[in-house]
Every structure is written in C-alpha cells, then in structure tokens.
Structure 1
Amino acid sequence: MPVFSIDELRRLGTDILAAAGATPDEASVVAEELASANLVGHDSHGVMRLVQYVDFIRNGHIVPGRQPEIVREGAAFLVVDAHFSFGQVAASWAFERLQQKAKDCGCANAFIRNCNHVGRLGSYTEKAAEEGFAALMSVNAPGPGQVAPFGAMERRMGTNPISMASPGVEFPHVLDMTTSATAEGKLRVAHQSGLTVPEGWMLDGHGNPSCNPGDYYNEPNGCILPLGGPLAHKGFGLSTMVDVFCGILSGSGVGRTDLPRGANGVWIELIDIEQVVGRDEYDKWMGQYETHIKSAKKRPGIEEVLFPGEVEKRTEVSRRQDGVIIPDETWRQLSELAGELQVSLPNA
C-alpha cells in the first residue's frame, strides 16, 4: 500500500478540490481538515472523502462559492445557514465568530443548518481547547441517515457524533465518538481494505448481524447499529438528543428526504475557562485529576491508562515521521479521480 506525507496529502486534496470547482480558500480549508484526520489516525474522515466530495459537487449536493449567512443572532448565540456549502468551511467560519462571543459572554452556542459533511469533529474542539475553551460539538444527519433506531432494522438516523474537548496538562483531552456502533467511514475503510468488521457494528439488508462491510452497501442496504451492544438503547437515546439539538434547534430538520446528500445540522458550544473557573484553578484541578486517573491499578496486560486524545497524539507523531498508509483501493479511486480532473499525483 502506498505511503504519503501529510504535505503530499494536503496538496493532493487542495488540487483535486480546486479542479472540481472549489474556490482556493475552500479547497485549502477542506484539504487541511482531511489530511489532518489522516495524520491522527482517523482515516475514515481523511482523503478517502475526496471521491465523495467531488461526487457531491458534480451532483449539486455541495455548492462551492456560497458564503455562510447568520440568520439569527444574540449576544451569546448565532444560527448560521451554510447554503449547502462545504461543511468544513461553514464550521470553521462559525467557530471564529463563536470564539469572540464566548470571550464576551463566558459561553456561547452556534447552530448551523444546511451544510455538508463537516469532517472530524475532534479537529474543531481540539483547536478550541488550545485557545482556552472547553468545547462541545455535535452533528446530526437531517436525512435518512445510516443507523437503525434501537430495535429496528432500517436506516432512520445519522451516526450523530459528539466531540468534547478541554485543555490538559500537556495536550487537550479530546473525546470524539459516534452515538452509533461505528462511523460509516470506518465501514468504508474496511470495505476498501478487504477487511471484516467487529460483531455488533451492523446488520445486513435482511436484519441479520453481519461482519461483512459490503452488506452495508449492497442491495437491500444494511444499517449500522446504535452504540452499546446489549445496552444499545443508551446509544439510541443519545442519538435522539443529538437530533434535537443539532437538527431541530438549528432549523436543519430531522427525517427529511428533500435534502442534498451529506447534509448536516450542527451544534457548537464554547465555554471560556478563564471566566467560568479561572485558568490557574482549572489547571490545578486538571493536574490532580490526570494523576488520580493514571495512577489507578492496571488490569493484567495493561501498561497505561490513556485519556481521550492521547492515542491520536501518538499516532500523529508516528505518522509525521513514517507517513500515512493509503489502502490500495482508496488509492485506485483517488488516482482515477485525479486522472479525470487532470491533477498530478504524488509519487507513491
């Protein structure tokens, strides 16, 4: 399988998106988010998505060049209509404005409607934590989605991810998880790599448990299960609340069949740590907390307790040094797309 540097992936993404019709600024923002996802090990949200995004542009699901618009606003909130532009662009645009509101008011919320796939949520919340905020971000799929409600065997909900991040002693703690058993992109990575997936992730189109990711894409379509295995009602419950906060409060909607593919509703909250508790006191408690958690007696075979985000930081160090491996099928698709768009490829 070919291996590339982060700079090569960033450049490839920028060139492909620009050739497909994105503005230079849009191409740069989106390519950076995709490459950074690969860098920290979340390949499901990396350059693999370029094929999907170009397809969305060609079919009108993403409309390049449209500017986000504030449709409602108060001292501590804003509601943004992205007009079906790139999700990464709309989310970054909203984050910049929300940071000032949070600094002014102590905390602030943003809701985004009509944007496309925003990418890896942890990227945004981590950046906010590095700026001194505690951050929450969540996304729903207002359309049919990929996930079956608890007890059902038909797609009705999105994977409805949640990310929360806060400053840590050495680096931010970053939780980034779906309320489903897996993200659809992880099924796609496994499918393109010729791998099976763990039990409990999905059902085939006939309602039977399956470990073959192809069963998700075959007709009749399979579906992803809610998070939790035997306790999947808990993942389902979380997912319904994401639909409320991201879909209904943003005005993006839920259960819609009239939206472009990839449409998202977004909720972001930022809390200014300095104003709410004071950074010195926060850092004191965080230091005690990390020591308290990491000093717990380990189970047999476990060397270390890791906080959310530590695996990604270590993966980033490794991949900056050794490069990012791209599955053969993913690279075949990217090569084919680059050829169609007359974009030169980095040397594999």
Structure 2
Amino acid sequence: MITVAHDALEKLVAEMIGRAGSNPEEAGKVARNLVEANCLGHDSHGIGLVAQYMDHARTGALTVNGHISLVSDNGVYLLLDGNMAYGQVTGIEAMELGIDRARTAGAAIVGLRNSHHLGRIGAWGEMCAKAGFISIHFVNVVGHRPLVAPWGGAEARYSTNPYCTAVPATDRNPMFVLDMATSRVALGKVRVAYNAGKEVVEGALIDHQGRPTREAAVMYEEPTGALQAFGEHKGYGLALLGEILGAALLGGPVTDPKHQERNTICNSMLTVIIDPKGFGKDIPFGDLIDSMLAYVTSARPAEGIDKIRIAGEPERETSAERKANGVPIDPGTWARLVEAGVNAGLDRHQFDGIAK
C-alpha cells in the first residue's frame, strides 16, 4: 500500500479537480469530501473517484461550478434541483437550507433531485447532527448501468441506493451515524478490491449467470454480473424505498431504461430533518439514548472482538489513525490517480513527492 498524508492528498486532489474546470472554492469542497471519506475508512467514496469525476467534467456529464436551484417552497417542504452540479456542492447547499428551515419550523423535508454524485451520504447526516438535528436520508442512483439484482433475480435492475440516519451527540456519546448502501457492499468497495487484486466478501456478488462469486472482476469485465442486496429481501425493499421516496416523490429520475446508460452518476435524495425538542423540551432524549447505549455496548464481546461499537465509531477511530499516520491507497487506485493527474497536466513528481 502507498501512504499519503491527508493534507497533502487533499491539496493534490483539489488541484486535479481544478484542472477539470472547477474554481478553487468548488475544487476545495470536492477534495475535502473525498479525502475525508478515505480518512474515515470509506475508500469506496474517496479519491478513487477523482478520475471518474474529471471524465464527467470534461464530457459535460456534470455541471462544473454549478449550484442548486429552488423548485418549490411550501412550509417545511423544500424542493431543490441539483442541476447535475457536484454533489459535494449541492449537498452542502441543500443541508444548509434544510437546517435553516428546521430552526424556524421545527422540521424540514428537503428534496434534492438531479445532483451529480453526492458521495458519502453520512457527510450530510453529520452536517445536520452537528447543528443539533436528527436527519433521515433516502437516496437513489441512476445514470449508469444497473448494478444490483433484485432479491430472487439473476441480473441487475437498480443501483446501491444508500440509506442514512444521523443523531446528534449527547453529553456522554458522540453522534450516531448509520450510513450504508442497500447492497451487501457498495460498488466502490468492489472497485477497491478489484484494483487491489482481492476477492470480495462472500454473498456480495453474482456472476452473469446468477451464480454466487467472490471475483470483483464480474463488475468491471464482460460479461458483467451484479451486486446482491444486503439482508436478502430486506435490503431489496429498502433500496426500492430509495427510488420511491428519494426520487419518484421529488420528480427525480428513477431506475428504468430511460434513465440508465448516461455515463454519469445522478443522485436524488429525500432528507427529513427533525428537531429533537419538537415533541417537547421536557423529554429526556439524550439521557434515554445514553442509558440505552450504555446497556447495549455492555454486552460481552464475541471472540476476536475487542469491544462493542455504535454506528459511526469505527469511522472516528479510523480517521484518528489515518490523520496521524497517513491515508493508505492501493497501487491500482494510485496508478489511476497519477494517470488522471498527468493527463490533466500535472507533473508526475508531484505524486512521487508525497507518496511513501
């Protein structure tokens, strides 16, 4: 593995995104979001996406230096269009509007449709949680070939459609952030395995004949296979809620033949933002969470496990380690990043100088 300091990596990625047409502010937002994903251990949503983003910028499959536009404003309801701008921009703008609305109305229901890749959805949940609000996110993904087979199916029909809920920190516990793909693993994790020449966990993939496999190549080489839903019919059902609530409800593009094969990544997202004090300031919400988590995490760890963790805790531990010791990057991902940078006019020595 190649190791790069997170600040040097962020500076490099910002320069690369800038070479694809973004102004410095936008390039910085994209770079911070991607490198932060790596720091948190979500390499699937990190710098491995840079080359793809740059390709989309060059072909016009995303709107460089774009912003959201307001479609409708109806009380707690805000409907926004992302205009296929960078999700690292539209996500921030949508959450800022939603948080402001929740402060005045006690809640907000924010629809964001037609955004380029929103990246790690947990980032938007964390924005809300840091502001003191609970948030629930349903997301769909279109713009490329289907990736995930419906439960019982032998071929792909929809994508990894993430789900996220984030809860603010209490006096005794940090924020709770459940952020997950509705597939057994995110496609990016298969990409990381493919680039590293490793197998994927059992139960995550099927080949083109519908047979279980651990070979990551089935998602990147012909004939292609498909990802499987997590939890069998449960993940499948949650993924379709991403289509129904995250896109159809908003008038965004849904998974069907019309909206596939556009060679881009298009996300729509429904975000529900809730003020924890909305049902009454006398409800001991934080104390009840602390009591519950203390009991749950007091369970005796299974063999080979050091302690019981809550959602978001592994990411915080990984972030502390990687920010102190550098971000590990597999050789395949690094080679593609170098190639994209050199093709954009960067000197190869810029990469050699920060890699260990």
TM-score when normalising by structure 1: 0.95
Offset, 1:55? 1.2
What is the match of residue 91 of structure 2? Answer: 91
Q: 1:186 aligns with which of 183, 189, 210?
A: 189
Task: Report Cα offsets for 1:245-281 as digits up to 9, x if no partner.
Answer: 0110121121243464201111111111233343882
CA distance in 2, matches of 1:2, 1:250: 42
CA distance in 1, matches of 2:282, 2:46: 34
What is the match of residue 347 of structure 1? Answer: 354
Offset, 1:103? 1.0
- Where 2:332 maps in the other structure, the secondary structure is helix
CA distance in 2, matches of 1:300, 1:213: 29
Range with greater deviation from structure 2 (2-11 or 181-190): 2-11
Task: Report Cα offsets for 1:288-347 as digits up to 9, x if no partner.
Answer: 122111222333444311101110111111111111011111111111111111234352
What is the match of residue 55 of structure 1? Answer: 55
What is the match of residue 211 of structure 2? Answer: 208
What is the match of residue 14 of structure 1? Answer: 14
CA distance in 2, matches of 1:234, 1:190: 25
Offset, 1:124? 1.5
CA distance in 1, matches of 2:330, 2:48: 9
Task: Report Cα offsets for 1:207-240 as digits up to 9, x if no partner.
Answer: 2211110111111211101111xxx111111111
Please tell me whether residue 138 in structure 1 is matched to residue 138 in structure 2: yes
CA distance in 2, matches of 1:43, 1:276: 38
Please tell me whether residue 149 in structure 1 is matched to residue 150 in structure 2: yes
Q: 1:125 to 1:327 in 2, by over 3 A?
A: same
| 8 Å Cα contact 1:142-1:252 kept in structure 2 | no
Q: 2:295 aligns with which of 282, 292, 298?
A: 292
- Where 2:277 maps in the other structure, the secondary structure is helix
- Where 1:252 maps in the other structure, the secondary structure is coil
Task: Report Cα offsets for 1:104-129 as digits up to 9, x if no partner.
Answer: 11111111111111000111112211
Q: How does 1:87-236 map to 2 (within 5 A)?
A: 87-143=87-143, 144-168=145-169, 169-228=172-231, 232-236=232-236
Q: 1:347 to 1:297 in 2, by over 3 A?
A: closer
- Where 1:181 maps in the other structure, the secondary structure is coil
**Percent same amino acid at aligned positions?**
32
Range with greater deviation from structure 2 (272-281 or 208-217): 272-281
Which residue type is aligned with residue 7 of structure 1?
D
What is the match of residue 308 of structure 1? Answer: 311
Which residue type is aligned with residue 179 of structure 1?
T
CA distance in 1, matches of 2:298, 2:65: 51
- Where 1:57 maps in the other structure, the secondary structure is helix
CA distance in 1, matches of 2:74, 2:8: 42
CA distance in 2, matches of 1:335, 1:303: 38
| 8 Å Cα contact 1:114-1:252 kept in structure 2 | yes
Q: 2:326 aligns with which of 310, 323, 326?
A: 323
Q: 1:99 to 1:278 in 2, by over 3 A?
A: same
CA distance in 2, matches of 1:113, 1:145: 19
Offset, 1:57? 1.2
TM-score when normalising by structure 2: 0.93
Alignment gaps of 5+ in structure 1: none
Which residue type is aligned with residue 235 of structure 1?
G
| 8 Å Cα contact 1:145-1:159 kept in structure 2 | no
| 8 Å Cα contact 2:142-2:265 kept in structure 1 | no
CA distance in 2, matches of 1:66, 1:287: 42
CA distance in 2, matches of 1:255, 1:275: 35
Offset, 1:5? 1.4
| 8 Å Cα contact 1:174-1:309 kept in structure 2 | yes
Which residue type is aligned with residue 145 of structure 1?
P
- Where 1:48 maps in the other structure, the secondary structure is helix
- Where 1:249 maps in the other structure, the secondary structure is helix
Which residue type is aligned with residue 329 of structure 2?
I
Task: Report Cα offsets for 1:55-113 as digits up to 9, x if no partner.
Answer: 11122211212221010111212111111111121111000000011111111111111
Please tell me whether residue 31 in structure 1 is matched to residue 36 in structure 2: no
Range with greater deviation from structure 2 (268-277 or 35-44): 268-277
| 8 Å Cα contact 2:51-2:340 kept in structure 1 | yes
- Give the alignment's Cα RMSD to 1 decimal: 1.6
